[in-house]
Amino acid sequence: LNSAAIVRRAVFGDAGVAAGARPGTLIIDMSSIDPDATRQLAADASDKGLRWVDSPLSGGAPKALIGELTLMAGGEAQDVADAHAVLRDVASNYTHMGPAGAGQTTKLINQVLCALNFMAVAEATRLALDAGVDVLKIPQALKGGRADSAILQEYLPRFATRDYRRTGRIDNMVKDLNAAQDLARRTHTAMPLTAVCAEVHRLLTAAGLGGEDQAALMEFFQRKEDGK
C-alpha cells in the first residue's frame, strides 16, 4: 500500500482488518511509509489488542520472483519472530531492526542508497556511451570490484539499451525520497546528494515519466542525437 493513510483505512476503516480481527492478531505491514506514521499505527493497533510489525522489503521484482527478498522489520521481538515464520518463504534476508517504525526507517535508508546508485549508474552509462567504450562490457569488467552492485549489473545494460520494462516507478521513488528528506530535516541531517537526486526524480515525474521504471532515469542524460 502506497501511503500511511491507505494503510490506516485498510486496517482501521469501517470494513478494515481490525473490525474483524481477534485479540492478539498479528498485522504485518510490508508497505513503505513514514516511520512516525507507522509508530502511530502500531500504537493504535496495540490499543485494540492487536500486534503490529512493519516489514518493508527490498530486492525488486527479480528477487520477489525467486523468493529472495530482503526484509527489514520493526516491532516487538516475539512479534517479529512470528512474522518471520510467515515471511521466510519470500525472503532470504530478514533482520529485526528495533521497535515499531525501525523497519520503515531502514527502508528509507535503503531507498536513499538505491536512488543514488541508480543515478550514478545512469550518469556513468552516459559517460561510457559518449567516450565510445563498449558499454555492455562494463558490468563484466567491474564485477567483483568496489564499484560493482546489483543495480549496476541489472540496470547498466538497461540504461544503455533504453530498456524501460517496468519493475518499479519513478514517482514511488519520489515518495520515498521525500520521506527521507523529511526525516533528515527532523534529525538535522545534511543530505546534499539526496536533494539533487530527489530533484531529478521530480523533474522526470513532472515531464510525465513518473509511472516509468527507474531505467527511464536515462532520459535525464539523453542527447538529441540519441533520437528517441
Which cell numbers in the block locate residue 179?
Answer: 520521506
Nearest partner of 102 among 50, 51, 56, 49, judged by Cα: 56
Residues with catalytic annotation? 107
pLDDT band at 227 (very low <50, low <70, confident <90, very high): low
CB atoms within 10 A of CB 174: 20
98 phi/psi in degrees, rounded to 5: 145, -160
Q: Is the pLDDT of residue 92 over 90?
A: yes
Map out the domains of the chain with their CATH numbers: 4-100 (3.40.50.720), 105-226 (1.10.1040.10)
Q: How many Å apart are CA 155 and CA 82, to the nearest integer?
A: 35
Q: What is the tens place of the pLDDT at every residue in 152-162?
A: 999 999 999 99
Asked whether the whole model's pTM tops 0.85, one would answer yes
Q: What is the tens place of the pLDDT at every residue in 6-48?
A: 999 999 999 999 999 999 999 999 999 999 999 999 999 999 9
Q: How many Å apart are CA 192 and CA 197, to the nearest integer?
A: 9
